[in-house]
Structure 1
Amino acid sequence: MAPELWRRELADLRLEEKELTKAQDRLAAKRRRLPWIKVDRDYAFMGTDGPAGLADLFGDYAQLIVYHHMLKPNDPSPCEGCCMVADQMPHLSHLRARNTVLVFVSKAPIKEIEAFRAHMGWSVPWYETQDSFNTDFNVTSGFGLNVFYRDGTDIYRTYYTTGRGVETLGTVWTLLDLTPLGRQENWEDAPEGTPQTAPYQWWRRHDSYS
């Protein structure tokens, strides 16, 4: 293809990208206006510094993002997808600059969490859940993400998502979406001849790729 024709096609695509960006901005604005639900009980966690309640997870910040990682007790094969999410967490100082903190929670005992976190090289704060916190916030057997806001002593739940909604946390999928081969998963609309495999199955923990 001639360079000038390629630039014209890119310009047409850019118009669609801008429309998508504007649509995402409108959706984010709608998300910010969701009603809040007051959390009417406390929950029990165990962290590296000992027992903690939900309020303790906020630290000194008003907004709390909780990722429910699927690590379970004596886990022989921790979830590759959850681990990919963990690999992509930003330096948390950027969130804290906007009065926000991010933590992980799991059912695994804190000693196992800390050993696994050290092995994987992660620094995100991580807590063991010790009661019905996961199920009370729509995370039963899988993963999910909940957002909370603290106003004085009151805590409110403001958002929840799971499945592909969690992709907003990651850059791997965003970067692959920019490439000509895409994610190379068989659900994608891609040019003929693009190599593709089933989704999820190619994911590995970053220390497990051959």
Structure 2
Amino acid sequence: MKTPPIVTPEEWEAARLELLVKEKELTRARDAMAAQRRRMPWLAVEREYAFDGPAGRASLLDLFEGRRQLIVYRAFFDPGVDGWPDHPCRGCSMVADQVAHVAHLNARDTTLVFASRAPQADIRRVKERMGWTMPWYTLTDGFDADFGVDEWHGTNAFIRDGDRVFRTYFVNNRGDEALGSTWSYLDMTALGRQEEWEDSPEGHPQTPPYAWWNWHDSYGKDTAASETAEPAEDPQGSSGCGCR
């Protein structure tokens, strides 16, 4: 392999700062794209769908678990797919390995679930062995065909208004590969991260940046994080750690 030039510390820092300009441009371009997603039209879901879940039969509305938004990843853990019955396909397994703790999504009124054709007994067995904790349902009808995920993986986002459900976004192919973090999932939803710095339509729920962050085992138990967090001066350009 041909290696890059070997430089002095000053030259290395200059090269890093030159690259940083482009990296910030990319960050702001991602923010602009997410803002455009929040302005996507909504498509009403008129058909009723049924899933098998850990607690038995469930509707699409049930998958929300009472929250306002729902993200559904179609994972290929199906009879006849490579890996069956020991694993989902390799790509879907990598996606599952990358999923951050769902408590942070739940704190933004958003539920993430996986859906496959595998029976619940097989899903439970594989989840336990692989250490996956996200809700995982069994497809029982034409949901996958209706939402573009019958032959290839993909991620659909939904929102509900009372009992009415709307499709708000869809991504597949390489668009899926960056998913897994709390931020990447929220950025594909109709409500986004719900922080004040975001360019969102009027009336969208928004709170100060970082004020809602908490340890994943502390949401709903205390308000220490929201009481002590300090909003960052530049959420788009800082890490947002808040460590002092």
Offset of residue 115 of structure 1: 1.1
* Distance in structure 1 (CA, Å) of the matches to 2:171 and 2:17: 34
Q: 2:113 matched to 1:113?
A: no
1:73 and 1:112 in contact (8 A); partners too: no
Offset of residue 119 of structure 1: 1.4
Q: Which runs of 5+ in 1 are unaligned?
A: 172-210
* Counterpart amino acid of residue 61 in structure 1: R
* Counterpart amino acid of residue 146 in structure 2: D
Q: 2:161 matched to 1:155?
A: no
* Distance in structure 1 (CA, Å) of the matches to 2:44 and 2:141: 18
1:43 and 1:54 in contact (8 A); partners too: yes
Q: 2:95 matched to 1:85?
A: yes
Offset of residue 150 of structure 1: 0.6
* Distance in structure 2 (CA, Å) of the matches to 1:108 and 1:73: 7
- CA deviations 1:123-177 (Å, max 9, x no partner) are 1000000000001000121211000001101100000010111122146xxxxxx
* Distance in structure 2 (CA, Å) of the matches to 1:170 and 1:58: 19
2:75 and 2:88 in contact (8 A); partners too: no
- Work out which of the residue numbers 174, 182, 185 in structure 2 matches 1:164: 174
Q: 2:64 matched to 1:58?
A: yes
- Length-normalised TM-score, structure 1: 0.79
* Counterpart amino acid of residue 89 in structure 2: C
1:73 and 1:109 in contact (8 A); partners too: no
Higher helix share: 1
Offset of residue 38 of structure 1: 0.2
| Corresponding residue for residue 29 of structure 2 | 23
* Counterpart amino acid of residue 138 in structure 1: G
Q: Within 5 A, what are the aligned runs for 1:186-197?
A: none
Higher mean C-alpha deviation, range 109-118 or range 50-59 = 109-118
- Work out which of the residue numbers 46, 50, 56 in structure 2 matches 1:44: 50
Q: State the identity as a percent.
A: 49
SS at match of 1:71: coil
1:45 and 1:54 in contact (8 A); partners too: yes
Q: Which runs of 5+ in 2 are unaligned?
A: 1-6, 182-244
SS at match of 1:73: coil
- Work out which of the residue numbers 126, 129, 133 in structure 1 matches 2:136: 126
Offset of residue 110 of structure 1: 1.2
Detail structure 1 runs of 4+ shifted over 6 Å in the superposition: none
* Distance in structure 1 (CA, Å) of the matches to 2:177 and 2:153: 12
* Distance in structure 1 (CA, Å) of the matches to 2:18 and 2:180: 27
SS at match of 1:8: helix
* Distance in structure 2 (CA, Å) of the matches to 1:70 and 1:115: 16
* Distance in structure 2 (CA, Å) of the matches to 1:107 and 1:100: 23
- Length-normalised TM-score, structure 2: 0.68
